Homo-oligomer: A and B are copies of this chain.
């Protein structure tokens, strides 16, 4: 993945502003390290070494691991996980959930998400980053699914936010307890429950 040229000579300051080359090298090194060793082997020390950067440079721009991780995510969020649109809430939820679990299981970035949640439990600033920067962006697709369902009259629009919390909570619970192997039956049952819960009436 991406060039990784630690021998490209020293990368000096370009003046009193952030060096884009340094930033790019650091983010790339962070992404590669995450892919190779997972969250467990992810340290600022090693990122700096690989990027040919100084630790002060990292700490200058990313005070905590979570900040750097969120940046890595932001750079990768484009490719994967396209929003579903099957015309039915239950089907949308089932296909999205199976894709999400697959993403969490089968990609380095996805696997690191557990580490991001864990990080947020010991660092208050990481928690703020997770809740206020990371989540709102990632929740857009899910919210769209429920909003489309509401537009079709499948669910009560007033219930959308609470349904999202229930739905995300379900996924996190499975993830954090290590039960995200593909499980179409449970996913399908849960999707039906959520559709029933939000039903107008």
List A residues at the B interface (Cβ < 8 Å): 39-40, 114-115, 117-122, 124, 127-128, 130-131, 135, 159, 162-163, 165-166, 168-174, 176-179, 186, 189-190, 193-194, 196-199
Interface centre among A115, A118, A119 (most CB of B within 10 A): A118
Chain B positions within 8 Å of A117 at CB level: 118, 121, 176
Given A40-B122, A169-B166: A193 touches B159 (CB 8 Å cut-off): yes
Oligomeric state, in copies: 2
Chain B positions within 8 Å of A179 at CB level: 131
Chain B positions within 8 Å of A194 at CB level: 166, 197
Given A118-B118, A169-B172, A172-B176: A163 touches B193 (CB 8 Å cut-off): yes
Q: Report the Cα distance A104→B88, complex, angstroms.
A: 38
A122 CB contact (under 8 Å) in B39, B178, B186, B199: B39
Chain B positions within 8 Å of A114 at CB level: 121
